[in-house]
Structure 1
Amino acid sequence: TICFIGIPFITAYNIISSIFRGLGDSKSPMYFIAIACVCNIGLDYLFIGALGLGPAGAALGTTLSQTISVIISLIVIRKTNTGIKLTKEDFKLKKDTIGNVLKIGIPVSLQDGFIQISFIIITIIANRRGLNDAAAVGIVEKIISFLFLIPSSMLSSISALGAQNIGAGKPHRAKLTLRYAIILILCSGVVVIGIVQLIAPQLVAMFDDSPEVVRLGTQYLRSYVVDYLFAGIHFCMSGYFCAIERSGISFLHNSISIVCARVPISYIASIKFPTTLFPMGCAAPCGSLLSIIICVIAYIVINKKEKTEAIQNG
Structure 2
Amino acid sequence: MITHFETPLLESRALSRRCMKTISLKMEAWQPTGSFKNRGMGYACSIYRERGAERFISSSGGNAGLAVAYAGRKLGVPVVVVVPKTTPERARRLIAREDAEVIVHGDSWNEADAFARSLVHENDAFIHPFDDELLWMGHASMIDEIARSASQPDAIILSVGGGGLLCGVIEGLRRNDWHNVPVIAAETVGADSYAQALKANRVVNLPAISSIATSLGARAVSSAALRAATQHPVESAVVSDAAAVAGCLELLEEHRVVVEPACGASVAALDADLPALQRARNVIVIVCGGVNASVEQLHAWSRTLAVA
TM-score normalised over the length of structure 1: 0.26
Q: Higher helix share goes to which structure?
A: 1
Q: Higher strand share goes to which structure?
A: 2
TM-score normalised over the length of structure 2: 0.26
